Amino acid sequence: STWRLGRRGWAGWKARTGGEGNHGYGGTVLTKDGFIVATFDFEDALRADAAAAIKRLNDTGVSMQMLSGDTAGACVEVARMLGVDDFVPCLLPSGKVERIETLARDGYKVLMVGDGLNDTPALSAAHVSIAPATAADIGRNAADFVFLRESLLAVPLALDVSRQAGRLIRQNIVIAIVYNAVAVPIAILGHVTPLIAAIAMSASSLLVIGNALRLRSSEPISPDRNIRRERLSNANELVGSS
């Protein structure tokens, strides 16, 4: 006998079951010689703060899609819980890659977030990719960023930091161009001593570094940090009242 465990369309090639409606989602089946002998229904557990992360991304104007190998029924339920309007179900790993390549040809810069083994090709194909530390080793190696905690709020946080860093980089380039456009001609004409020129060059470097350090002061506050601050505040109130 030939036993298969996997997707209904592949495993149950001889099944006469009257459709998937009789077996839940019918995503995974066990078959003997092409006939279904058992079906398996799985319930998806969302990651911590998944809905909050989706909301923050929506608020920033990011266009999101959910690419899944699950059936349409399973995707509808998860999309409803997360508030995701655009999703593509029943995708093989190659289908996810094709979808990302299509978006790239349309002019989009795709950020792929995934943790499954079948997400690895898509992580490599995306413009930028993020994977959690719990992902498979090959997935972590394919990703550009790896976040260590379970919370998906790391994704909007990374986007916020990257955008702020980009603005500061452009500001530093402008500062350096303007500074050198003024200082270099003065130095060439001999109006400054070597000591003053050395101090001026050091001052320009300090100016650029100081502007870059603004990223640290303007870094978005994560919910974990807010929780710690609230606990410290409550502890101080308790100490004061005692």
Q: Which CATH number describes the domain made up of 50-152?
A: 3.40.50.1000
Q: What are the backbone angles phi and psi of residue 7, rounded to the nearest 5°?
A: -60, 140
User: Looking at residue 220, what is its pLDDT?
Assistant: 52
Biggest CA pair distance of the chain: 93
Q: What are the residues whose beta carbons fall under 8 Å from the beta carbon of 224, sequence distance 6 or more? A: 149, 151
Contact 71, 20 (CB under 8 A): yes
Q: Would you mind telling me the total number of residues written for the chain in this entry?
A: 242
CA distance between the termini of the chain: 75
User: Looking at residue 237, what is its pLDDT?
Assistant: 44
User: Looking at residue 232, what is its pLDDT?
Assistant: 46
Rounded distance between C-alpha atoms, residue 135 and residue 144, angstroms: 13
Give residue-wise pLDDT tens across range 107-166: 999 999 998 888 999 999 999 999 998 888 888 999 999 998 888 999 999 999 999 999
Extract the residue ranges of the chain whose pLDDT is less than 70.
13-27, 217-242
Rounded distance between C-alpha atoms, residue 153 and residue 115, angstroms: 15
Contact 130, 158 (CB under 8 A): yes
User: Looking at residue 20, what is its pLDDT?
Assistant: 44
The one-character DSSP state at 47 is: P
User: Looking at residue 35, what is its pLDDT?
Assistant: 87
The model carries a pTM of 0.67
**CA 81 → CA 9, 44, 64, 69, 86, distances in Å?**
27, 11, 15, 18, 13
User: Looking at residue 104, what is its pLDDT?
Assistant: 93
